[in-house]
Amino acid sequence: MEKRKTIGDDNLLCAMNTSEFEEYVEPQKLRGISDGDGISVFGARDIWIDHCTLAKCQDGLIDIVYGSTAITISNNYMLQHNEVMLMGHNDDFVADKNMQVTIAFNYFGEGLVQRIPRCRHGYFHIVNNVYTGWEMYAIGGSANPTINSQGNVFIASDDESTKEVTKREIPNGSAEWKKWNWRSDGDLLLNGAQFTPSGNGTSGSYAKASSMVARPASLLTNIMPSAGVLNCNISQIC
């Protein structure tokens, strides 16, 4: 199937396999001024966000939206922020069903509240991260995202009201979330942390949310020193 779009004086030909793409996403022009996110990925693919230290942004620390896919967020140190990471434009934007994001080897430190991440549609491999407390929830979502949590360390705070790792955004009284494929596989749940799984539980359901082999969660004690901005000097190994 081919679709031709004209934007300004440019004639674009977009060939798409209809088995992979449900909706055409028109290429985006430059957006101009930032909307307050630390890092914003908008209608892009094949992006690697690695070894950043992020805190206290005006909006989110990282937003990945508008049909973006093939994104890796790794080895970052995030702290002191409310709405940490948003994945997906909105619940009605079905092009985000193709989104695939890997979140690996990050250290989620002190002062984080929620959206670590918050996912819409798509497939998310959350693997070998360390969570050191959250003030509301850690992993949230709506619009039936697939979430594969493997080999993470979740250390809940001492607040008894924030032990739950997950949160589903659904209409009141709806049991729709029970069909969503969310699993915890090999995670360490410490200090009373709880992960509520859902879905049919078959391994095939997580194929698009499986980007790498998870390390045992017990080996993650050295993530913090290596996460975040590297201490590098010219002509020297970092």
Positions annotated as catalytic residues are 115
| Residue 27 · residue 8 · CB < 8 Å | no
Single-letter code of the amino acid located at 122: G
CA dist list (Å): 1 to 15, 18, 96, 108:
6, 7, 20, 43
CA distances from 72 to 46, 101, 147, 194 (A): 8, 6, 15, 26
Residues in CB range of 179: below 8 A, 6 or more apart:
144, 198, 199, 200
| Rounded distance between C-alpha atoms, residue 27 and residue 7, angstroms | 9
Could you give the CA distance from residue 212 to residue 102 in angstroms, rounded to a whole number? 9
Residue 180, both tokens: 């969503």
Query: DSSP string spanning 124-154?
Result: EEEES-EE---SS-SEEEES--EEEEES-EE
